Structure 1
Amino acid sequence: MTAYVLRRLVSTIAVMAMVGIFVFLLLRLAPGDPAAIIAGKSATAEMIAGIREKLGLNDPMPVQFLRWVRDMLSGDFGTSIFAGRPVLDLIAQRLEPTICLSMMTMILSATVGVSFGILAAWQAGGLVDRMLTGFATLGFSVPVFVIGFFLIYLFAISMHWLPVQGYRPIGEGLEPWFVHLILPTLTLSLSYIAFIARIARASMLEVLTEDYMRTAAAKGASSYAMLFHHALKNAGAPILTVIGLSFAGLIGGVVITETVFNVPGVGRLVVDAINNRDYPIIQGVLILVSGLYVLINLAVDLSYTLVDPRIRY
């Protein structure tokens, strides 16, 4: 078990090193001079040269990279070019909406998706299975922004049940906070519910056809015991994988959803930074999101040992 954990930690460090190199080179090797883009079309050569000197772009690439890594390891993600504030402060201001939206999305997606998958597998070939499979196919195929606009039209504009856009901090009260998160959460959850349900159904169907399941049925095991004690435990690894990957991949959906619903989260911060060519913010968010992605994958890999003890050896 210790050797397995150490191997995963070493591979995680290697992956983060590669991510760091990629993020560093991505912006510096992109077409165009970052200093000229920041300075604007009316900038003089002296202004561009001053910006290049301020950003350290005149130094050799290895020197820039080592300085960048040193600053990152010390917690200095740089200063926003346009806001003039530390990048970490700007990200910290936007974390609450993104974290709340992501956590509510994954709780809803995992709970409903796994439940739908188990029910569809248990009723394989029946009406319930066909209905849930059709829902999963539809939810996985429709783009997030289309779902968002449809829900806004239905529940906010037509029925006037929910607010159209915006976000209320949790400090202003649980009810306005929850009400403003319902539509974004539903919008972001539908595709993940569909994805998790499809994987859960396939994994459960594979396990339900095993010999030990027929043996358990012959011994008089209840449906609950067969589904949750025997089948779900043995089908857990693929389900954990897809839940972990869905959680790690939320940032793409969060960017679109926060834009549609005008939620001031990290996704909106990234969009604004890209529009303004604010490279320190883009780099900082990419590094933090990549680190979170790698850590979630590490947590999923380690959780396999709880589901399948054979992995420990």
Structure 2
Amino acid sequence: MGTYILRRMVSTIAVMAVVGVFVFLLLRLAPGDPAAIIAGKSATAEMIAGIRNKFGLNDPMPVQFVRWVWDLLGGDLGTSIFAGRPVLELISQRLEPTLSLSILTMIFAVTVGVSFGIVAAWRTGAFADRLLSVFAALGYSVPVFVIGYFLIYVFAIRTHWLPVQGYAPINNGIGLWFVHLIMPTLALGLGYIAFIARIARASMLEVLSEDYMRTAAAKGVSSYAMLFHHALKNAGVPILTVIGLSFAGLISGVVITETVFNIPGVGRLVVDAINNRDYPIIQGVLILVSGLYVLINLAVDLSYTLVDPRIRY
């Protein structure tokens, strides 16, 4: 077990090192002078020279990389070009809406998706199974922004049940906070529900067809015990894997969803930074998101040992 955890930790550090090199080279390998890219088309030679001095672009590449890594280890993600404030400060101000939307979406998608998959596998060929197939096809094919605008039209414009856009901080009241996140969570979560449900159904069907499951049914084991104490645990590894993979898609989905619903989160911060060519913000967000993604995948890998003890050895 200790060896397995150590291997996963080493691979995680290696992945983050590769990500760090890529993020560092993102600006340096762009066509043209990085300082000119940052300054914009209307910049003068003096402005470009000032930017090169400010960001140390006149130094050799290895020196720049070591300095950048050293700043990262000290918690310094750089300073925004346009806001003139630390990138970490700007991200922390936008973190609550993004975390709220991401956590609610994952809870919603995992709970509903796994439940749908279990029911469809247990009643394979029945109405619930066919309904899941239709829902999964729609979830895969319809983009997030289409679902978002449809929900806005139905629940905000036509019925006035929910607010059109915006975000209410949680300290303004959990009720108001939750109401503003209902439509974004639905829009972002439907595709992941379909994805998770399909994998859960396939994994459960494979386990339910095993001889030991038929033996348990012949011995009179209850349906609840068969599904949740035996089948679900043995089908857990593929389900946990798809939950980890869903997080990768959630990153891009949050950017689109926050734009559609005008949520002032990290996704909107990235969109604004791209429009303004604010590379320090883009680099800072990439590093943090990549680190979070790697840590979640590490947690998923370690959770395999809970559902499949053979991995420990």
Match of 2:238 in 1: 238
AA matched with 1:249: G
Structure 1 unaligned blocks of 5 or more: none
Alignment-mate amino acid for residue 79 of structure 1: T
Which residue type is aligned with residue 28 of structure 1? R
1:291 corresponds to which residue?
A: 291
Say if 2:144 and 2:257, in contact at 8 Å, map to a contact too. yes
Q: Distance in 2 between matches of 1:301 and 1:220?
A: 34
What is the identity, as a one-letter code, of the residue corresponding to 1:282?
A: I
Q: Which amino acid aligns with 2:160?
A: H
Encode CA deviations 1:243-295: one digit per residue, 9 max, x unaligned: 12213431100000000000000000000011111111000000000000100
| Partner residue, 1:17 | 17
CA separation in 1, counterparts of 2:281 and 2:47? 22
The CA distance in 2 between the partners of 1:11 and 1:179, in whole Å, is 41
Q: Distance in 1 between matches of 2:259 and 2:227?
A: 40
What corresponds to 2:166 in structure 1?
Answer: 166
Deviation at 1:102, TM superposition (A): 0.5
Aligned length: 313
For residue 32 of structure 1, report the CA deviation from its aligned partner.
2.9
Deviates more, 1:171-180 or 1:80-89: 171-180
- Distance apart, 1:39 and its partner CA: 2.2
Aligned to 2:212: 212
> Which residue is 2:177 aligned to?
177
Report what 1:49 is aligned to: 49
What is aligned with 1:35? Answer: 35
Describe the superposition over 1:110-151 as per-residue Cα deviations: whole angstroms up to 9, x where unpaired.
000000000000111112100111101111211111110111
Q: What's 2:76 paired with?
A: 76
Alpha carbons 2:109, 2:189 under 8 Å: kept:
yes
What is the one-letter code of the residue matched to 2:90? L
Normalized against structure 1, the TM-score is what?
0.98
User: C-alpha distance in 1, partners of 2:219/2:149?
Assistant: 52
* 8 Å contact kept, 1:165–1:261: yes
- Give 1:122's aligned amino acid: W
Matched letter for residue 123 of structure 1: R
Cα distance in structure 1, aligned partners of 2:207 and 2:64: 53
State which drifts further: 57-66 or 33-42: 33-42
Report the RMSD for the aligned CA atoms in angstroms.
0.9
Aligned residue number for residue 263 of structure 2: 263
Counterpart code for 2:162:
L
| Aligned 8 A contact 1:248 1:292 in 2 | no
Counterpart residue identity of residue 267, structure 2: G
**Residue of structure 1 in register with 2:253 after alignment:** 253
Match of 1:281 in 2: 281
In the alignment, which residue of structure 2 is the partner of 1:66? 66
Conservation of the 8 A alpha-carbon contact between 2:258 and 2:267: yes
Letter in 2 for 1:196: I
> Which residue is 2:7 aligned to?
7
2:98 paired residue number = 98
Are 1:35 and 1:48, in contact at CA under 8 Å, matched by a contact in 2? yes
Amino acid at match of 1:172: N
The corresponding residue for 1:302 is: 302
Whether the 8 Å contact between 1:120 and 1:133 is mirrored in structure 2 is no
Inter-partner Cα distance in structure 2 for 1:64 and 1:132: 53
Q: Is the 8 A contact 1:151 1:187 kept in 2?
A: yes
